[in-house]
Amino acid sequence: MTSISARIPDEDAEELEEVAELLGEDRSSTIRRALREGIEEIRVRLAVERYQSGDVSVNEAARIAGVSVAEWLEVARERNLTTQLKPEDLEDDADSALEI
């Protein structure tokens, strides 16, 4: 396991301690959980932004988000995203679906 260090504001350190206590975890476990959940949320947010702007297809949005195409379609449905598909995207996405 890789070790990292970071300086955080005192307010964040206090918040971290409080959340760790609420979870019944030590501070390191809480930091790992927050980092993992934060990275997952950032990936989904980036995928949503790029998909909504038409920069990426369904398949690429799923890759950016780190989820399967089926999971991405659920994310898109939950967030009421409008389809940004081009004809060539449909062919790529159909090929990906066949692989599943």
Count of all residues that appear for the chain in the document:
100
- What the block records as the tokens of 27 is 């501070």
In the chain, domain spans: 13-99
* Residue 18: predicted pLDDT: 97
Low-confidence ranges of the chain (pLDDT < 50): none
* Residue 89: predicted pLDDT: 64
Contacts of 67 (CB under 8 A, 6+ apart): 44, 75
- What the block records as the tokens of 29 is 């476990």
In the chain, where does DSSP find H-type helix? 10-23, 27-52, 58-65, 69-78, 87-99
**Cα separation of the two ends of the chain:** 32
- Distance, in Å, from the CA atom of 7 to the CA atom of 88, rounded to the nearest integer, reads 46
* Residue 90: predicted pLDDT: 64
- What the block records as the tokens of 96 is 């990906």
Phi first, then psi, for residue 24 (nearest 5°) are 70, 35
